[in-house]
Amino acid sequence: MKIVFMGSPDFAVPVLTRLVEDGHQIAAVYTQPDKPAGRGQTLHISPVKSYALSRGFIIKQPLTLKDTAVQDELKALAPDIIIVVAYGLFLPDAVLNLPAFGCINVHPSILPRHRGAAPVVSTLLSGDTWGGVTIMKMDSGWDTGDILAVSKVLIRSEDTTASLMSKLSFISASMMSDFLPRWTAGLVIPRPQDSTEATYFRMMKKEDGLIDWSLDAVAIRNRVRALQPWPGTFTHIDGKLLKILTCTVVLAETDEKPGTVILSKRDVDVVTGHGLLRLGTIQPEGKKAMPACDYARGNGFPAGCVLA
**Mean pLDDT within 44-52:** 97
Band (pLDDT 50/70/90 cuts) for residue 202 is: confident
Choose the final residue of a domain: 168, 201, 234: 201
pLDDT at 85 over 90: yes
Distance separating alpha carbons of residues 276 and 292, to the nearest angstrom: 15
Band (pLDDT 50/70/90 cuts) for residue 40 is: confident
Phi, psi of 31 (to 5 degrees): -150, 170
Residue 55 lies in a domain: yes
Query: Quick one: what percent of the chain has pLDDT higher than 90?
Result: 94
Give residue 39's pLDDT: 73
What is the per-residue pLDDT across 130-183, written as a single tens digit (0 to 9) for each?
A: 999 999 999 999 999 999 999 999 999 999 999 999 999 999 999 999 999 999
Band (pLDDT 50/70/90 cuts) for residue 36 is: confident
Which value, to the nearest 10 degrees, does the dihedral of the CA atoms of residues 100, 72, 140, 193 take?
A: 30
Same structural domain, 31 and 169:
yes
Residue 307 lies in a domain: no
Give residue 201's pLDDT: 84
Same structural domain, 185 and 235:
no
Query: How would DSSP label each residue in 130-158?
Result: EEEEEEEE--SSSS-SPEEEEEEEEPPTT
Q: What is the mean pLDDT of the chain?
A: 96
Band (pLDDT 50/70/90 cuts) for residue 60 is: very high
pLDDT at 119 over 80: yes
Same structural domain, 258 and 131:
no
Distance separating alpha carbons of residues 216 and 228, to the nearest angstrom: 19
In this structure, what CATH number is given to the domain that contains residue 242?
A: 3.10.25.10
Choose the final residue of a domain: 151, 173, 201: 201
What is the per-residue pLDDT across 205-260, written as a single tens digit (0 to 9) for each?
A: 999 999 999 999 999 999 999 999 999 999 999 999 999 999 999 999 899 999 99
What is the per-residue pLDDT across 276-303, written as a single tens digit (0 to 9) for each?
A: 999 999 999 999 999 999 999 998 999 8
Could you list the residue range(s) of the whole structural domain that residue 230 is in? 206-297
Choose the final residue of a domain: 185, 201, 217: 201
Give residue 42's pLDDT: 85
Give residue 206's pLDDT: 94
Residue 185 lies in a domain: yes
Cβ atoms of 65 and 95 closer than 8 Å: yes
Number of domains the chain contains: 2
pLDDT at 23 over 80: yes
Cβ atoms of 131 and 164 closer than 8 Å: yes
pTM (2 d.p.): 0.94
Give residue 41's pLDDT: 75
Cβ atoms of 151 and 235 closer than 8 Å: no
Give residue 120's pLDDT: 97
In this structure, what CATH number is given to the domain that contains residue 161?
A: 3.40.50.170
Nearest to 27 by CA among 83, 69, 70, 68: 83
Same structural domain, 174 and 107:
yes
